[in-house]
Structure 1
Amino acid sequence: MPEIIEELLQYLRGVWLKRRYILIATWILCPIGWLYVSTLPNQYSSSAKVFADTRSILKPLMRGLTITTDPRQELDLIVRTITTPDNLEKIARASDADLSVATPQEFQTLLGEIKSGISLKSANRANIYTVSFDGKDPQLAQKIVQGTISVFIENTLGEKRLDSDQAQRFLDEQIVEYERRLSEDERRLADFRKENAAFIVNNQSSYFRALEMARDRLEQAELALQETQTELESAKGQLSGEVDIAVQSLSTIRTDYDQRIEALQINLDELTVRFTDNHPDVVETKRRLESLTEQKHKFLSGQADSGGINGNPVLQELRATINRLTSTVAAMEVRKSKYAAEVDELQGRLDHVPDIQARLTGLNRTYAITKDKYYELLNRKESAVMSDKVDQSTDSISFRVLEQPRVNSTPSGPPRLIMLAGVLVVSVAVGIGLSLGFSLLSPVVSSPGSLKSTGIPVFGVVTATENSGLQKWEKRKMRIFLLANSALVVLFTVFIALNTNQSWHDALFVKGLGG
């Protein structure tokens, strides 16, 4: 630590010994810098405050029916884009600043001055915006601030109307596009259904479910047919039994056939005693006997049909039942054949069904998505139209100028006192740097400790006496240094006084040196 302190002291001694460079730097840089600062043109500031009221009674009432936007985001966007070339041109024309220029180059220079001097920022979260401008002309500063306010308000309201128009145009284009796509999807779906009508059962059940239902119907039809056929056979059996009973009741009646049958029977018995069954007489007698028996049976049946069996209520009901069951069986056989053909047809197309159903599902999905988007766009369009009507009936953002821009005759800048002091500090720093640099380039031994780094032994220290003249020379240099610095301080004070008094400053620098 002592070595560091000693080294710092050595540097300070070197700067002090080369202090003439401080005087040279300060006396060269300070007057030039102070004169430059004093001749800087005055800057006049004008400012205003604008309040943007984003409150609206209709917004809470129309919530959910209209498109809601955040007015603060719109205002922030306008604030960030206020210095774009288009807006700067609007401000220049609104403030009549463009009348003071004659060439495009001068106009671009004017736009650069407006961009560098204008400021638009939010003062707080209460939507209060401060507009300010710093320029050489107080009248022009006030006009530019007023023009900036006008452009800010117009851009905010115009941007909202532009956004609304663009949104409605975009929605109209999308609605037309989705309407075309919806028509194409409907036509494509209808054509597909028409081409594959045999494979598409309905929109509710699958093809496999339809095949299963067809098989169930066929099974039920077969079962019902078997039951009806069983009932028909049973009815026919009952009718046959009833007829036999009726015929047997008529068999007790004596006819001419009975006597002849009895005579043939006696003759047959006698022949069978004498001859074999293959004897021609035996065979002829049996044939005649069977013929007479058959004729008797037919005679009795005819008698039964004409003699009152048909009038039997039981037989009539049985015949009616048989007729009804016969018709039912015929109808059920037709139904069974139809169901069987339907099952065979569905079964034959079963291999093509998965692909058809997959394609149909895809078409239905595409159609449903397009339809949903179409109706959603229609709803958005209605919301946009209603929002536009709400904006037309009442402004979503209203502006009030809280502080009007004023013409300030007192300059707001530049900060000459600070700049004068800065020039002095920089000049002294440059002088110290020069002194340190020259002391390092041509070092001077100022103490015995400075010789330690050289390795030269120190045997003693000789003090300069008054007779040597060194003390007088050092005192003379000190007086010159102090007088020069005092004169510099006086000159600094003069410049401060001149720049503080605005009338003297304008008369001396603006009109004198500037003219």
Structure 2
Amino acid sequence: MNDVYLQIITYLSGIWRRRWLVLALAWLVCGAGWTTVASLPDRYQSQARIYVDVDTMLGPLMKGIAVEMNLFQQIDIMRRTLLSRPNVEKIILMTDLDLTVKNEEGKERLVEELAARIHVKQQGRNLFEIAYEDTDPAMTKRVVQAVMQIFVEGNLGASRKDMETTRRFLDGQIKDYEAQLVAAEQRLAAFKRKNMGMLPGEGNNYYDHMQKMRQQLSATEAKISESVMIRNEFRSQLKEVPQFLEVAGENPLAQVSANASRGPDSDLMIRMLEMQQVIDSLMSRYTEKHPDVLTAKRRLETLKKELAAEQAGPGAALDHLQNVSGPAGAEIAALDGGPAASAPVAAPPPAPIKNMLPNPVYEQIKLQLVQQEGVIAALKNRAETARKDVEKWSSMAKLVPQVEAELAQLDRDYTIVKKGYQELRQRQESAKLAHDLETKAQKVQFRVIDPPKMPLKPSGPNRPILLAAVLFGGLVVGIAFAFLLSQINTTFSSVHRLRATFTLPVLGRVSAVVSRAERRTRMRELVGFAMVCFALVAAFGGLVGIEMFGAGGLMTKIRGLGII
């Protein structure tokens, strides 16, 4: 620690011995520096503040009706692009600064300097400050006014230009969508006309119609089968029934007349036909071995025998009755006058004359056969018609899914185009309202809080600070030069330095004896040194006082006189 202290003392001693050199260099540097500071031109600054009011009553009223734009984002973008080259060139033209340049190089330099000296700051959310600094106070005001004008008109103009571009785009898109909508409507109408009757929602359920026709066809075919079975039964009966009947008697016509006078002898035949129909009905439900079928057949055979006995004459009928066993035969025998066992056997009658007459049963069966054939033909015709209907509805039912798919696709295309058209129309109305709101109302208001003024006092440069810096710099230069000389000098200013340099022992030192005259000389020298230092400080104080209290007027006069 002692070594460091001694080293510092050594350095200060070397500088102190060269104090006049330090002071001379300080005066030289300060004189040059202060002259330079005094020669700096005064700079004037003009500024203005603008308040952007976007919280108007129209905002909440038009919310959701007109197009809403992010005004803060738009204003921030305008603030960032305010000092772009096109805007700076506009400012140069508006302030006539273009008259001060003679070539493109000078214009480029002027654009760069102007953009560097214009400052746009955002103070808070809606408050903006525009400042410009120049040597001409009138020019500063004109530049700030030009910047304000571009800032306000740029925001409004960009918004209106954007809206106009949007409107033109929407108008073009609406025309395209109108053409597409008309084309889609025409395609849909043509398709409906072409496929009329097969469209969904028209009450034509082709699958139900097809199933209904199939059911009708199945019922008709069942009736045909039943009718064919009945017809075959009639054919088989027709084969069993003889076409002509043998009638005993000499005059067949008289016999027929007699039979006709007795009344219709076809009662048994009618009963036989009815019984045959009963059998046919039973056969359609049961088999031949069913008890009801067998009973009906036996009854039919009995009727056939009775008919044959009736047609053979009274004797045959009587023989038939006599052959009947049971109570019926006993009753018939009692009617003849006694028991059947005690009745005398009559002599055989002479052989009757046999005549051939048409069999009415045969004719009745044949008539019903013909009727049944007609029924079968009608049913077949009905079945053929039903079959064609089934084929027709089947083919139409196959086309229905394809028609429905095409209709759904056309409806979907039409719906998409219509929805897009309606959305564009809504956006067009919103854009129109926004345009009217922008042009006819003041949705964004620019309020000038502090208008630009022509500055009367310079805002720079800050000469007191610069003068102090020059003074400090002069002292530093002098001290540094003195320290450098002390380091270069080969003399030893102390015993400590001598011992540190050489390894030889220092035997002693000789002190200088200062006389009274020398002391007075040194005192005068110190007083002179102090006076020169005081003069330096006084000069600095005077210059600072002149700059601060005499404003720039005195400095300007001094510079005008050429003193500094």
TM-score category (smaller protein): 0.5 to 0.7
Kept after mapping to 2: 8 A contact 1:464/1:470: no
Residue 534 of structure 2 is matched in structure 1 by: 486
Residue 71 of structure 1 is matched in structure 2 by: 71
Kept after mapping to 1: 8 A contact 2:121/2:130: yes
Pair 1:215–1:115, CA change in 2 (3 A):
closer
Distance 1:155 1:92 in 2: 16
Report the count of equivalent residues. Answer: 447
Corresponding letter in the other structure for 2:454: V
Which deviations, in whole Å up to 9, do the C-alpha atoms of 1:183-202 show, x marking residues without a partner? 89969xx79x99xx99xx99
Structure 1 position 390, deviation (Å) = 1.6
Kept after mapping to 2: 8 A contact 1:14/1:444: no
Pair 1:246–1:137, CA change in 2 (3 A):
same
The correspondence of residues 211-230 of structure 1 with structure 2, limited to 5 A, is 225-230=217-222
Q: Identity over aligned residues, as a percent?
A: 25
1:232 aligned onto 2:293: no
Corresponding letter in the other structure for 1:493: G
- 28-37 or 378-387, which moves further after superposition? 378-387
Which deviations, in whole Å up to 9, do the C-alpha atoms of 1:218-246 show, x marking residues without a partner? 88876764454234323554576689585
Residue 506 of structure 1 is matched in structure 2 by: 556
Distance 1:173 1:82 in 2: 32
Distance 2:127 2:394 in 1: 85
1:334 aligned onto 2:388: yes
Pair 1:240–1:3, CA change in 2 (3 A):
farther
1:465 aligned onto 2:512: yes
Pair 1:330–1:160, CA change in 2 (3 A):
same
Corresponding letter in the other structure for 1:395: Q
> Does the residue aligned with 2:480 lie in a helix, a strand or coil?
helix
Residue 454 of structure 2 is matched in structure 1 by: 407
Residue 380 of structure 1 is matched in structure 2 by: 427
Corresponding letter in the other structure for 1:456: T
Residue 123 of structure 1 is matched in structure 2 by: 123
- 83-92 or 27-36, which moves further after superposition? 83-92
5+ residue gaps, structure 2, are 238-268, 274-302, 314-355
1:145 aligned onto 2:195: no
- 475-484 or 111-120, which moves further after superposition? 475-484
Kept after mapping to 1: 8 A contact 2:181/2:418: no
> Does the residue aligned with 2:363 lie in a helix, a strand or coil?
helix
Kept after mapping to 1: 8 A contact 2:58/2:443: no
Distance 1:4 1:178 in 2: 93
Which deviations, in whole Å up to 9, do the C-alpha atoms of 1:319-351 show, x marking residues without a partner? 9986775444323433455577789x99xxxxx
Distance 2:469 2:200 in 1: 88
Structure 1 position 4, deviation (Å) = 5.9
Kept after mapping to 1: 8 A contact 2:37/2:466: yes
Residue 61 of structure 1 is matched in structure 2 by: 61
> Does the residue aligned with 2:511 lie in a helix, a strand or coil?
coil
Kept after mapping to 2: 8 A contact 1:74/1:156: yes
Pair 1:89–1:387, CA change in 2 (3 A):
same
Residue 434 of structure 1 is matched in structure 2 by: 481
Kept after mapping to 1: 8 A contact 2:181/2:414: no
Residue 81 of structure 1 is matched in structure 2 by: 81
Which deviations, in whole Å up to 9, do the C-alpha atoms of 1:410-444 show, x marking residues without a partner? 22222111111111122223333334444444576
Corresponding letter in the other structure for 2:561: G
Distance 1:365 1:438 in 2: 99
Kept after mapping to 1: 8 A contact 2:234/2:365: no
Distance 1:478 1:362 in 2: 111
Corresponding letter in the other structure for 1:482: A
1:302 to 363, 372, 378: 363
Kept after mapping to 2: 8 A contact 1:43/1:136: yes
Pair 1:9–1:83, CA change in 2 (3 A):
farther
Residue 131 of structure 2 is matched in structure 1 by: 132
Residue 36 of structure 2 is matched in structure 1 by: 36
Corresponding letter in the other structure for 2:221: Q
The correspondence of residues 196-211 of structure 1 with structure 2, limited to 5 A, is none
The correspondence of residues 351-366 of structure 1 with structure 2, limited to 5 A, is none
Structure 1 position 162, deviation (Å) = 1.7
Which deviations, in whole Å up to 9, do the C-alpha atoms of 1:86-121 show, x marking residues without a partner? 3234334444555x6373566666555543443332
Pair 1:339–1:303, CA change in 2 (3 A):
closer
Pair 1:430–1:234, CA change in 2 (3 A):
farther
1:156 aligned onto 2:155: yes
Distance 2:498 2:442 in 1: 85
Distance 2:183 2:34 in 1: 82
The correspondence of residues 103-122 of structure 1 with structure 2, limited to 5 A, is 103-104=102-103, 111=111, 114-122=114-122
Structure 1 position 454, deviation (Å) = 4.1
Pair 1:91–1:218, CA change in 2 (3 A):
same
Distance 2:358 2:419 in 1: 86
Kept after mapping to 2: 8 A contact 1:138/1:408: yes
Corresponding letter in the other structure for 2:532: A
Distance 1:478 1:361 in 2: 113
> Does the residue aligned with 1:129 lie in a helix, a strand or coil?
strand
> Does the residue aligned with 1:409 lie in a helix, a strand or coil?
coil
Distance 2:382 2:503 in 1: 145
Kept after mapping to 1: 8 A contact 2:74/2:155: yes
Residue 166 of structure 1 is matched in structure 2 by: 165
Which deviations, in whole Å up to 9, do the C-alpha atoms of 1:258-278 show, x marking residues without a partner? 89xxxxxxxxxxxxxxxxxxx
Determine which structure has more spread, i.e. the larger CA radius of gyration.
2
Structure 1 position 65, deviation (Å) = 2.2
Structure 1 position 23, deviation (Å) = 2.7
Distance 2:90 2:24 in 1: 52
1:421 aligned onto 2:471: no
Pair 1:382–1:432, CA change in 2 (3 A):
farther
Residue 284 of structure 1 is matched in structure 2 by: none
> Does the residue aligned with 1:52 lie in a helix, a strand or coil?
strand
Corresponding letter in the other structure for 2:363: G
> Does the residue aligned with 2:124 lie in a helix, a strand or coil?
coil
Structure 1 position 37, deviation (Å) = 0.9
Distance 1:237 1:4 in 2: 146
Pair 1:171–1:236, CA change in 2 (3 A):
same
Pair 1:230–1:64, CA change in 2 (3 A):
same
Residue 544 of structure 2 is matched in structure 1 by: 496
Distance 2:156 2:139 in 1: 26
> Does the residue aligned with 1:51 lie in a helix, a strand or coil?
strand
> Does the residue aligned with 1:506 lie in a helix, a strand or coil?
helix
> Does the residue aligned with 2:47 lie in a helix, a strand or coil?
strand
